[in-house]
Structure 1
């Protein structure tokens, strides 16, 4: 994938993050901490339903895309089974019209349940349609599909503020659901040729069985991964309060700025690495990419440790602790992204059960950690437990991948990830006490990283100069 295509894919996460930095403070000033916590429960449900009802076939679509000639048929075979099961499940749940709202929000209201159902269906369909743009390397369309819903959410919240609308959960839920539905409509429009062509295609049962065999372990792996990412919120709700859940959710939302790296990398990495594997090449390239991603991860952790205090100027006073929580909350997006570079052997060898095992072990560890730490530290305990669990998840994926594929250099990988995770734990649990002394730690790690990766930094600098000169026409770009 060329730098131009990568840049087009980056527009969406970057624009979404920038819009998020505008929208999130508005929401914290306008809506209650409890309602923000309740909305996070809907987001947990959305992620669960997408992972579970996909049946692992979304990953099968990515894996088989470059090896099939009939891509519309591939789309139908991977989308339809999960969608049918999802619709059937929701129909049963709606027999009690207040069940979902009571379960998620502790508020019995049929209209809240209906909004959740609409969001679930739209989110599921959007997941598969986004893969079409991703695999066809349509970066600009993919990015616009991410930015437009953020703009809609910002506009709706702005209208609420201007007209003095009620600061209620239903209004906040309407805004979020509308944004999700817009995502789905935009994806439908941008991929209309593909999904319209798929309508007339037949489902080949034998082929579907093969893909289900590939994706079946991913169902359990997906459930374990959902537990790994959602246990903190679920246990915060049951062991603490909606206020602590709201505080934690805001911290996670700020840390989601790191998903710029995660989203862009994950979008371009899977198609690229499978293309390399199909040609029987790419091991040295994979090692090189791993070092670049490690460099980015360490730098982002260090910058968060040095400048997280900035968020206190954007939020109400009751969100002061966000500056400490956000550092550990970076563990999910950044360590997961790093693990994507080291786990490729599992995908290439089709040993998806090992990925499932890594997720299950990390999930059990996270559940135990949250159970122990939340009653003591509240939201801070949840943040620390999740960060440590994702470090373990990264280690397991790396080692399992090596066991079934090729060895990779990992002294720098493990050394620097230990440094940043330990720093995050100390910052989150004892940041109030240690204060400015922590900045010395993060500065030392940052300087060490710059020295260790000086060759990569010089190479990045030279490539930026080359691309800049090529763009200006002073030299011809390399083909």
Structure 2
């Protein structure tokens, strides 16, 4: 994949992050903190839907795409089981009107429940249709699918501001529904040849069984990963309420700017490595080592810059979100450490030993649950942010070591050392940021300087290419 194609894929995450930075302050000023906290539970449900109901077959689609001649049948094989499950479960919820909104928001509302079901269905469809564009390297169309949800949500919220004096949870849910459904329509048009071919194809139960065998560990691993990324919200909701959940979710949303790196890298990395492996040209190990070093530098720099400039969020948020700046750095742990683990864990996918992915996710989830149970009752949103950051540091180490066991060795001590320094600084910021804000400012400045000086020769050689 050349630089032009990578840039095309990057437009979506960059634009999405920019729209998020614009949308988030608007939401915090217009809607109550409780409703902001409630809408974060919708995001939890969406991530569960995509990760669990995909049954690991989305990863099987990426893995088998370049070696499959009948790609319409491949799409049908991977999408049909999860789609059937969603339809059946949605029908079950219809027997108990309003139960879905009560489960997520503690408000029983039939109309909101219907909208939630539409959002979940659309999110599942969007996952598989966007994979088509990703594998075909249609960067601009893929980027548009990333931009549209936030753009449509912002437009609808703007209309709500003009048309209504009171702003409610229903308006937030409608705005999200419009965004997801608009993306579904756009993706269906962009990939119409592919899904029409899938409709005309028949299921190949033999291939489906083989892909389910590949994806089966990813089902449990996906569920564990969902828990890993959402258990913090559940603890905050249970012990601190929706207002603290709003503070936490806003910090996580601002940290989502770092997901630019995650989205772009994850989009191009797996297809690139699998394509190289399929070509039998070799060089995968050298590529992984060099890319890991690049990603480590980027991750440490972003942690440090987050620590140096997190105070800027005070200028765009209401006064009741003053603690966001202290937990923002720890909230970077998920997108940054996960992205770094994507480089080092490639051996698990290449060797098809996906049980290691499940084991890494389950172990990190256990760490997250224990840490949340210890920290959230005392520190609230800050404790949740530290717990998740710690869990993803453990996740990085586990995925790296499992990849080495199943594939080839790689240098990693420096990666563990620098990421531990990031974890330590982020934890102090989240738990005692007000008391140590000046010391932390110096800490992040020194860490930034050290990582740049340490890798100066590598950066110069990289810049000359």
| Post-superposition CA distance 1:74-109 (Å, at most 9, x none) | 001000111001100110111001110111111111
1:2: Cα distance to partner? 0.3
- In 2: Cα distance, 1:443 partner to 1:372 partner: 30
How far apart are the structure 1 equivalents of 2:94 and 2:464? 59
Match of 2:193 in 1: 193
1:74 maps to: 74
Tell me what 2:265 maps to: 265
1:413 to 412, 415, 435: 415
For 2:149 and 2:366, the matched residues in 1 are separated by 35
Q: Give the superposition deviation at 1:462.
A: 2.9
Using the TM superposition, give the Cα deviation of residue 26 of structure 1 relative to its aligned residue in structure 2, in angstroms.
Answer: 0.4
Shift in Å at residue 32 of structure 1?
Answer: 0.6
Structure 1 residues 210-359: aligned runs within 5 Å: 210-280=210-280, 281=282, 282-359=284-361
| Distance in structure 2 (CA, Å) of the matches to 1:418 and 1:425 | 10
Is 1:456 aligned with 2:458? yes
Counterpart Cα distance in 2 of 1:461 and 1:162: 49
Aligned 1:6-405 pairs, distance under 5 A: 6-280=6-280, 281=282, 282-405=284-407
1-structure distance, mates of 2:123, 2:314 = 32
Q: CA shift at 1:411, angstroms?
A: 1.6
Secondary structure of 2:86 counterpart:
helix
Aligned partners of 1:22, 1:218: CA distance in 2, in Å?
35
Q: How far apart in 1 are the matches of 2:256 and 2:384?
A: 16
CA deviations 1:161-206 (Å, max 9, x no partner) are: 2233421000111101111111111111111111011111111111
- What is the CA distance between 1:456 and its match in structure 2? 3.2
User: d(CA) in 2 for partners of 1:136 and 1:432?
Assistant: 49
In angstroms, what is the RMSD of aligned CA positions? 0.9
1:440 aligns with 2:448: no
Q: Distance in 2 between matches of 1:456 and 1:116?
A: 48
Change in Cα spacing, 1:32 to 1:271, as seen in structure 2 (3 Å) is same
Q: What is the rounded CA distance, in whole Å, between the counterparts of 1:108 and 1:214 in structure 2?
A: 39
Residue 152 of structure 1: how far off its partner (Å): 1.2
Whole-Å Cα distance in 1 between the matches of residues 248 and 212 of structure 2?
36
CA distance in 1, matches of 2:463, 2:218: 39
Structure 1 counterpart SS, 2:409: coil
Tell me which moved more, 156-165 or 185-194.
Answer: 156-165
Offset of residue 460 of structure 1: 4.2
Deviations 1:45-68 (A, max 9, x none): 111111111111111100000110
Q: Which runs of 5+ in 2 are unaligned?
A: none
What's the CA shift string for 1:259-307, capped at 9, x where partnerless? 0000000000010011122233221111101111111101000000000
Q: Distance in 2 between matches of 1:150 and 1:460?
A: 35
Distance in 2, Cα, partners of 1:221 & 1:256: 23
Q: Which runs of 5+ in 1 are unaligned?
A: 464-479
1:240 aligned counterpart, secondary structure: helix
In structure 2, how many angstroms separate the alpha carbons of the residues matched to 1:42 and 1:173? 8
Stretches of 4+ aligned residues off by more than 4 angstroms: none
- Deviation (angstroms), 1:239: 1.5
- What TM-score comes out, normalization by structure 1 length? 0.95
* Cα distance in structure 1, aligned partners of 2:421 and 2:141: 38
Q: Distance in 2 between matches of 1:112 and 1:197?
A: 34
**Secondary structure class of the residue paired with 1:107:** coil
